[in-house]
Chains A and B, each alone.
Chain A
Amino acid sequence: MSRSLKASYGMLAVALIAIALAACGSKGTSGDSSSPGGGSVKGGPGVTASTIKLGVLTDLSGVFAPLAKPLTQANQLFWKQQNAKGGVCGRKVQLIVKDHGYDPQKAVVQYRDMSQNVAGLQQLLGSPITAALLPTLKSDSMLSLLSAWPSSLLSNDNIIIVGTTYDIEMINGLDYLLGKGLIKKGDKIGHLYFEGEYGENGLKGSKYFAGKNGMSVVEQKIKATDTDMTGQVAAFKRAGVKAIAVTTAPTQLASAAGIAASQGMTVPIVGNNPTYDPALLKTPAAKVIKANAYIAGSIAAWTVAKPEVKQVGDDFTAAYPKSDPKAAVQFGYAQAKVMYEILNQGCKNKDLSRAGLVKAAHQVSGIDTGGLIAAPLDYTKVGQPSERAIYIAKPADVIGGLRPLPGTFESATAKSYNVAGS
């Protein structure tokens, strides 16, 4: 054996030398050089006189591709338009898109790779990735716009969440049912939720709501690979729940709704915004979903009657005719818009350095997304969601697959809810 080992040194050496040569570069220079940001604006990594580079760390080949692809395209759409209008702070914005395929290891390397050359992250997707990068992001004071809505991360001042959080979505959604008399005090609510940040954050909301209204929550936690909800729904039925809250992926929403109906449970189903996908309307469960499901989220459906919303929809279909219309489009556009506002603020402060941008982020408020997000966004209070209103929408055969109920909805319970509390 030993000989073979000695010998394979050779190949190993070759490989490494190759890497070494490939790696040859001006190490450690690009990073800390605060390049002269034109005028008297303080620059930083990824900022030059003519451009601002932003990172997009997302999942275009993994399980979240369905959400991430239109989202990223919407990011790109916004900046294409904005650059045409002259960009921001006299600079064109350039997106560096990296696809981590939901693999933390890959994401960390990609982050390392880009971190020296970007002013901030226009988009960061995937809760395990976010969790893994959290310490690094903090020490780099890297402004990161999340493509997720967990209130648990609000305490980090460099993390920006566009729209309200899962728990508040759920509170609002349930409160809506209560208001409509679909559930009443003392009822039991079944909650079907994913293992992980997303699910548990949603659960937090339903529990809070239940506590406030003398209701109780019947928990059914599942893994992303669960697709047959028979057992879970049976448990709900046995417990006699009056409504089902869903914090999962579309697959599980369809399965749960279908089985519930087949079991003769005609109870309302309220789901967080990621639980819905227009594709569900092609599935056998479509009828039930249309009848019983309510989607609670702060992102506008394509058919929200606001000019900006329609505009974004039209522009997107024009730009990406191959992509299906999904709510992620409106969000991606709004997400980019928020970044724009922050950069603008940084420009006003004459500081586009990373620290400067984090500071700027918490000076902006009253960002009007023209209805893309249910309410104007306010980032001045660290640890608080940028807004607490949502749209309630019902699945329907319209473009984007959701028909919003008129107006937005912000319940008293949601207002009084303290995100930090547990």
Chain B
Amino acid sequence: MSDRRRLIARVAMIALVAVLLWLPQYAEAFWLQTGLFAMSAAIGAVGLQLLVGVTGQLSLAHAFFVAVGAYGYCFLAGGGPGGGVEVPSGAQLPPVLAMIGAVLIAGALGGLFSPIAGRLSGIYLGLASIGLVFIGQHVLFNAKGVTGGFNGRDAEPFNLFGFSFSNSHPDLTVFGVPYGGLERLWYLGLALVALSIWYARNLTRSRPGRALQTVRDSEIAAAVMGVNVPVYRAAAFVVSSMYAGLAGVFLALAFGRVVPESFGFLLSIDFLVMIVIGGLGSIRGAVAGALVVTALPQLFDHYSGSLPFVTAPGGDGLQPADAARFLYGAAVVAVLIFAPQGLAGLSRGLVGRRAVPDQSVRTDTKESTA
């Protein structure tokens, strides 16, 4: 690619990092909290991208594995001396280990699903995986001992070498701005997102990644070149589950407390929409998609006062929440039809690079045409 383009990318990159690092200095709680949720979403979306965009496998079970990560962390880290009324049990591990453990558990469960994940392809896997979400929520409600049932359970604040990512110990003030839990988690989130992107990029550019892409483009070619297709399908599923797990852990930290309702079917759909809007196959696209999907409703709500055609909450007329959902649906339709490569594709256009047709959206071509 041309120097001009490389330059733009560089500058954008530096600007981006700078902004992100500096943001807590003046961003209100609203923005930080939104940011934290967006980061969690970004991690999950990158994971789903590896499965859907790169391997060409559809999954609607992502919410389930996010839940596994979130509850896994709360269980492994939690369980301290409870304040009276029945506190769900826990392993009381140090948070770092709990985080790793939760991710591994998510991966393991993804592996248990491999008999299905390995054999089913495309849409069938997507439909089958819906089941996990509903079964998962049922368990969350009923396995009170571990999940706390409908009450949910607290997420132990994360800490690293005694430095707690919560409002205090130690108290921290940077340039006169008090850095509480939100600010600290912000940086943890940035680190985790960076890590996720880094791994995903390495993977897609390496041996396993090439194998996965070939499974997507031509299953049989992959097989005869020595790729064990079912195993790689399952592996992709496991990896994306682990990403979902990590997203869950960070979601739990951003919430402070997890409840079953946060992990419904709609969350799975949100993740799918993120990678579609971002552009199937593109890692950074997934991150951008996550940002849009998470922030959009919040912004609508925040600025509902100053939006045309939108009434204040409670008034008659178009509620901001509804407006956001309309826009959300319409955006997906528009992206699919007019910009099948999503935000990534558009940005490529901005930087003036010829877009390469995205194969992942164009799975089987022997489609019946109408």
Contacts and interface: CB of A to CB of B under 8 A. Distances in A.
A12 B353 contact: no
B282 A12 contact: no
B355 to A, nearest CB: 8
Interface string B242-276: 00000000000011111111100000000000000
Contacts of A200: 149-150
B38 to A, nearest CB: 10
Contact of A12 (B177, B284, B302): B284
A115 B256 CA distance: 16
Interface in B169-196: 177-178, 182
Interface in A1-37: 1-17, 19-20, 22-25, 27-28
B31 A23 contact: yes
A182 interface: no
Interface string B153-179: 010000000000001000000000110
A307 interface: no
Contact of B313 (A15, A99, A113, A133): A99
A381 interface: no
Contact of B255 (A1, A16, A98, A108): A108
Interface in B5-46: 5-6, 8-9, 12-13, 15-16, 19-20, 22-23, 25-35, 37
B322 interface: yes
A97 B319 CA distance: 12
B51 interface: no
Contacts of A69: 314
B15 A15 contact: no
Contacts of A99: 301, 313-314, 319-321
B357 interface: no
Interface in A65-87: 69, 72-73, 76
A72 B312 CA distance: 13
A351 B194 CA distance: 47
B30 A109 contact: yes
A127 interface: yes
Interface string A197-216: 10010000000000000000
Interface stretch (B99-107, B230-238, B287-295, B362-370): B287-295
Contacts of B285: 4-5, 8
A17 B15 contact: yes
A101 interface: yes
Contacts of B261: 102, 104, 128
Contact of B28 (A3, A7, A27): A27
A97 B314 contact: yes
Interface stretch (A39-47, A134-142, A293-301, A400-408): A134-142
Contact of A104 (B15, B28, B259): B259
Given A4-B282, A10-B350, A139-B167, A109 B262 contact: no
A9 B284 contact: yes
B121 interface: no
A11 B288 contact: yes
A10 B320 CA distance: 29
Contacts of B353: 3-4, 7
A76 B312 CA distance: 13
A403 to B, nearest CB: 30
B214 interface: no
* Residue with the greatest number of chain A CB neighbours at <10 A, chosen from B279, B282, B316, B321: B321
Contacts of B85: 152, 155
Contacts of A115: 29
A260 B164 CA distance: 56
Contacts of B141: 195-196
Contacts of B344: 4-5, 7-8
Contact of B284 (A8, A104, A112): A8
A132 B152 contact: yes
B29 A135 contact: no
A69 B259 CA distance: 24
Given A6-B9, A99-B301, A136-B256, A23 B284 contact: no
Interface in B330-358: 343-348, 350-351, 353
Contacts of A24: 26
Contacts of B254: 108
Nearest to B142: A195
Nearest to B17: A13
Contacts of A98: 301, 313
B133 interface: no
Contacts of A135: 154, 256-257
A112 B27 CA distance: 12
Contacts of B34: 109
A10 B167 CA distance: 33
A155 B83 CA distance: 11
Given A104-B261, A109-B30, A76 B295 contact: no
A128 B255 CA distance: 12
Interface in B48-83: none
B313 A97 contact: yes
Interface of A: 1-17, 19-20, 22-25, 27-28, 60-62, 69, 72-73, 76, 97-99, 101-102, 104-106, 108-110, 112-113, 115-116, 127-128, 131-136, 139, 152, 155, 195-197, 200, 322
21 contacts: A1-B283, A4-B284, A7-B8, A7-B350, A7-B351, A9-B13, A12-B284, A16-B20, A16-B291, A19-B27, A23-B26, A24-B26, A76-B314, A97-B313, A99-B301, A102-B261, A116-B29, A128-B259, A131-B259, A132-B258, A195-B141
Given A5-B283, A15-B291, A28-B177, 4 more contacts: A1-B282, A5-B344, A6-B9, A99-B319
